[in-house]
Amino acid sequence: MSTPFYVSPQQAMADRAEYARKGIARGRSLVVLQYADGIVFVGENPSRALHKFSEIYDRIGFAAAGKYNEYENLRIGGVRYADLRGYTYDRDDVTARGLANVYAQTLGTIFSSAAEKPYEVELVVAEVGETPEGDQIYRLPHDGSIVDEHGSVAVGGNAEQISNYLDQRHQDGMTLAEALKLAVQALSRDTNGSEREIPAERLEVAVLDRTRPQKRKFKRISGRQLGRLLEADGASTASEAEADAEAEASDGE
């Protein structure tokens, strides 16, 4: 019988972390920003079928970078957890903190289990509050830790550079159009510092809007509405945003 090579636990963990980080870095980055009326998710996504952002529950949204089949698994798990909680107790008893804890447990277990390969995913779980102070954003790296974020967060390949860029420019109380533009600027910067144009149809955008009259605050923004928001310049943004809100309210969607 051959003797296996000895690998120190430190080395084994470092290798696994390296593997996961490389996998995540291959995917495109995405950003999650707070704005005056909620939280906006922006990412570059050429596919219309495979979403990076989705609704988990009334006030909770989910964003993921990395391998699609792995985060889709986690997303469905999250929806099940949230729906079961809400059905057993009450809709108000489903919180982003609880959900983030479940994700952290799952990711942590998979990361340190020798039987499985680590998941190559990085998640963001966000909950919109009644006021901007009540907003919660949690970032969950591949190893099962939880980072409580404020204002803006970026995950995926180019995350560090993008989040530096966002940290310098993001302010509290931005309008949706301002936040969206900032996010697109941040995403269009390449690793080598040069900029490229991301056309609107390659963007995936979703919001958790606290002003929505419905219980479920998650909404995707696409097509004409997205084009309008991207074109709006500083002066007219406020009124445009209001017009959008009204149009949406009458949508009843």
Partner 1 sequence: MDFLSDHQPELLPGNKKLPPVQGAIEAPHGTTIVAVTFPGGVVLAGDRRATMGNVIAQRDIEKVFPADEYSAVGIAGTAGLAVEMVKLFQLELEHFEKVEGAQLSLEGKANRLSTMIRSNLAMAMQGLAVVPLFAGYDVDREKGRIFSYDVTGGRSEEQNFAATGSGSIFARGAMKKLFRDDLSESEATTLVVQALYDAADDDSATGGPDVARRIYPIVTVITEDGFRRLSENESSDIARSILERRLEQPDGPRAALL
Helix, strand, or coil (residue 230): helix
Contact 59, 98 (CB under 8 A): no
The CA–CA distances, whole Å, from 94 to 17, 32, 84, 85, 180 equal 31, 21, 9, 6, 28
Contact flag: residue 76 with partner 1 (CB under 8 A): yes
- Candidates 92, 197, 233, 253; binder of partner 1 (CB under 8 A) is 253
Stretch that binds partner 1, among 50-58, 104-112, 177-185, 197-205 (CB under 8 A): 50-58
- In the bound complex, what is the minimum distance in angstroms from residue 95's beta carbon to partner 1? 17
Contact flag: residue 51 with partner 1 (CB under 8 A): yes
Stretch that binds partner 1, among 76-84, 153-161, 194-202, 227-235 (CB under 8 A): 76-84
Q: Which residue has the tokens 């470092």?
A: 14
- In the bound complex, what is the minimum distance in angstroms from residue 80's beta carbon to partner 1? 6
For partner 1 (CB under 8 A), the number of binding residues is 16
Helix, strand, or coil (residue 147): strand
**H-type alpha helices, the chain:** 9-26, 68-88, 96-112, 159-169, 176-187, 223-231, 237-251
Stretch that binds partner 1, among 73-81, 104-112, 165-173, 237-245 (CB under 8 A): 73-81
- Candidates 33, 42, 56, 124; binder of partner 1 (CB under 8 A) is 56
- In the bound complex, what is the minimum distance in angstroms from residue 139's beta carbon to partner 1? 22
C-beta of 11 vs 87, nearer to partner 1: 87
Sites for partner 1 among residues 221-250 (CB under 8 A):
250
Helix, strand, or coil (residue 196): coil
Reported as type and span, the H/E element at residue 157 is none
Contact 103, 125 (CB under 8 A): yes
- In the bound complex, what is the minimum distance in angstroms from residue 73's beta carbon to partner 1? 12
Task: Give residues with Cβ within 8 angstroms of 73, minimum separation 6.
Answer: none
The CA–CA distances, whole Å, from 240 to 42, 208, 252 equal 19, 18, 19
Q: What is the CA radius of gyration of the chain?
A: 19
Stretch that binds partner 1, among 13-21, 26-34, 75-83, 179-187 (CB under 8 A): 75-83
- Candidates 25, 44, 86, 112; binder of partner 1 (CB under 8 A) is 86
C-beta of 86 vs 98, nearer to partner 1: 86
Contact flag: residue 252 with partner 1 (CB under 8 A): yes
Stretch that binds partner 1, among 84-92, 154-162, 163-171, 203-211 (CB under 8 A): 84-92
Contact flag: residue 92 with partner 1 (CB under 8 A): no
Helix, strand, or coil (residue 148): strand
Q: Which residue has the tokens 């779980």?
A: 125
Q: Which residues bind partner 1 (CB under 8 A)?
A: 51, 54-56, 76, 79-80, 83-84, 86-88, 250-253
